[in-house]
Structure 1
């Protein structure tokens, strides 16, 4: 066999092809080539083809890896060189966006996986900030008890924009002290006593509606109930059905935008949230003006009226009052709707809890006379009802954690927390891993009757320290009235006792908790489910 002559074929769809001069050149034929020639030419062509396909991808990946390397180096430059301690373990994710997308997509699983991998202190980069997440009562106490010395309040930029500069959450120092003092005027014992009757009236109205409808989506109804409680009890205004629906839609959009990428792009999360905020503030401003002009039909027993009646240095200006009112709606709404779902699920899973609630109501004369008006004194005598509510807030706290910013570099568990970094103390994980709670995954109200858990250290669903929730007693009041009324006036069945739980913005059942309600007839001690 003679020597084969080769030539290049230029193709329009790929690399040049090397083929025999006497071949058709549409396909590579090497039948007349020697075995060695066939191997070498085949390898060469394969290499050229792979280079054509893979080379751009390799370059792209190398650039991505290089950017990630520079990104991590840049962020870690913030490490305090004066400290001998290392940064906490963890990952900083992709350039600029960090691990934000994973956080938004995975929700609670994002932190669960990192807790399993890194332990109780780890670093990440979410919502535009290098962040250290800490878990455990002792670690959380170090944060909560050192407000304005080691740390200061700092929430994600998206939350700052949506809550507004006049809110209590974003205030610091003397401004926070003065603003909180004004808000606490709305949650004194006398004020709470005034809220109890209206709270009971609204909850009864909703339970009667559910019984007449029979089949309801529990979580959606609890959100509607919580929204009306916030509007009427806290802000002092009533709405017709259309206005209720319109404002609730705006509020739902506002809530769903809290954890957004902090860039306002038309049509995306933060932009939608800011437009919803404007809708809510427009209504709130109208309410405030009505109260200032003495035209409020709701009287002066609501929280907003009590705060507006303050004179002197604690007096709230219009912009402050608007932001505080919106914040009250946010806090009351989310705590109530999330905790109500947790209560219903766990009472339904544990019939003995329902029986003990009913026994306590009967022993206090609240079962036979279901139409009796509840006052704060009678409510506070119901110790088991209180324990049921506390256990619901322990096992699934509505607010999963709090945000702070390090004012100085300090140490936790042998790691440095650099000055300027964000800190998230986890309420939920701290409750779950508490060494003083036996079987933390079990719903057991009895645990609050014997040896008391130290509320300040191992139980803090409302945060703590100077930044602790100002309206915690009002939240407890609403939830206790909810438990009393739903257990003494209705039978109910949860269709799915083990729904998937979503955790943003608050824990809630993904299926919206389908339920069947029926009015409780007759005088029965045991109010069982259907």
Structure 2
């Protein structure tokens, strides 16, 4: 072990090594020098508390691990995660600082280094300032509700195709979906190494698709609105508007990021909704009633429309409550762009700030009886204090795909509850690796349902 660590340290660039060895940055002002660092320990070099956090996530005890830190150190403490000195903060006020200061010059986005390695350095989560605004504007213009209306029929067709292939005519189905939160060491046989190999394969596929779509757009006059790749390529060629242009590298990296978020996040949400509906009969009955009313108004084989999705208010509240209790993203990071004073402590420039969504989601002062599943909490979303429900993030970096996730989830749930009955053939335990994953998968005993 000693030889391994010595060899590893020799391979690390000197500036990073100094950071990992916890040589404290010097503040530019005497005032900052007088402000103490938060309590806590940075742990051993490189690893810090990374392995302890990852172990607790996989054991589904991460919330308890965080609560133990809070009891020991209070609402703000220092530690080291994924190779970087870190400050953990929690609560509504902390969330407001984290989400409300993006673009304000004090904080920048700081995903784990492993995520940057997997998705590519030009994906939106890695960009800041004008680059972030430019790329976000391009993606949001495609993902806004007004644009997504034209894709409801395509979503409907894809969901029905999936159900026909994997659900209909079967008695059992098994539904379920690693390296994102990893110590950023690309060693053979590690989850990060496997993820990087898959990332390289995906980038090659997207580049081939990019070339095909470019030919269709330039030679065949394809509609820019037929899909995301074509849309972004069309903006790439708007030479008269530099603000809208995206490089081909940015298109590749952001398409992969959207594929990752659009597939995994929605898969997790649907997985836990299916589990919930199998164990909460009153919730299931209300969802079924809402969806059957919509189905009765459709002709045989007629796809769902935008107007149908607007009617699915209770079903979406069920989805939001599922996201509150089991958020797909456990937490995230921001990077300090300058020295910050918070709660009487100094967070030095270059450190990262760690936030955890469950700390406000499961706070009884914000959500009474937080362990109880209660979709009525979201009947009036304006009554929920700001920066408390953060499954989609918040502020200038709030997830641009909220509406896409909403419509895809609603379409899927509609066909599942109107076409099938199911019984869960596993327990309710799950792990976080890196997203919530049922320990036994999601085996279901299913039978066809006849519309009443």
Match of 1:515 in 2: 444
Match of 1:131 in 2: 86
Of 88, 91, 94, 2:38 maps to 88
Change in Cα spacing, 1:451 to 1:330, as seen in structure 2 (3 Å) is closer
CA RMSD of aligned residues (A): 2.5
How many angstroms does 1:508 deviate by?
Answer: 1.7
* TM-score normalized with structure 2 length: 0.85
How many angstroms does 1:90 deviate by?
Answer: 2.7
| Cα separation, 2, equivalents of 1:294 and 1:315 | 19
How many angstroms does 1:72 deviate by?
Answer: 11
94-103 or 351-360, which moves further after superposition? 94-103
Of 98, 109, 116, 2:68 maps to 116
User: What are the superposed Cα offsets for residues 447-490 of structure 1, whole Å, 9 maximum, x if unpaired?
Assistant: 22257433632212111111111111101111111221111111
Match of 2:114 in 1: 158
Contact 2:20-2:85 within 8 A present in 1 as well: no
Say whether residues 1:359 and 2:289 are aligned partners. yes
Match of 1:379 in 2: 309
| Cα separation, 1, equivalents of 2:355 and 2:280 | 31
SS of the residue aligned with 1:373?
Answer: coil
Structural mapping, 1:245-256, within 5 Å = 256=178
Match of 2:14 in 1: none
Change in Cα spacing, 1:354 to 1:301, as seen in structure 2 (3 Å) is same
| Cα separation, 2, equivalents of 1:215 and 1:271 | 34
Match of 1:75 in 2: 22
* TM-score normalized with structure 1 length: 0.73
Say whether residues 1:214 and 2:171 are aligned partners. yes
Match of 1:472 in 2: 402
Match of 1:282 in 2: 204
The higher-RCO structure (CA 8 Å, 6+ apart) is: 2
Match of 2:7 in 1: none
| Cα separation, 2, equivalents of 1:508 and 1:280 | 23
Whose Rg is larger? Answer: 1
| Cα separation, 2, equivalents of 1:488 and 1:194 | 24
SS of the residue aligned with 1:169?
Answer: helix
Match of 2:179 in 1: 257
Gaps of 5+ in 1: 1-70, 224-255, 525-530
Change in Cα spacing, 1:489 to 1:262, as seen in structure 2 (3 Å) is same
Change in Cα spacing, 1:184 to 1:72, as seen in structure 2 (3 Å) is closer
Match of 2:8 in 1: none
SS of the residue aligned with 1:132?
Answer: strand
How many angstroms does 1:97 deviate by?
Answer: 1.7
Gaps of 5+ in 2: 1-17
How many angstroms does 1:288 deviate by?
Answer: 0.7
Contact 1:199-1:481 within 8 A present in 2 as well: yes
| Cα separation, 2, equivalents of 1:367 and 1:438 | 37
Contact 2:321-2:374 within 8 A present in 1 as well: yes
Contact 1:343-1:392 within 8 A present in 2 as well: yes
| Cα separation, 2, equivalents of 1:363 and 1:353 | 16
Say whether residues 1:412 and 2:359 are aligned partners. no
How many angstroms does 1:163 deviate by?
Answer: 1.4
Change in Cα spacing, 1:200 to 1:110, as seen in structure 2 (3 Å) is same
User: What are the superposed Cα offsets for residues 77-100 of structure 1, whole Å, 9 maximum, x if unpaired?
Assistant: 347563444333333222332122
Match of 2:215 in 1: 293
Contact 2:83-2:184 within 8 A present in 1 as well: yes
Change in Cα spacing, 1:460 to 1:129, as seen in structure 2 (3 Å) is same
| Cα separation, 1, equivalents of 2:19 and 2:207 | 46
Match of 1:48 in 2: none
Match of 1:304 in 2: 229
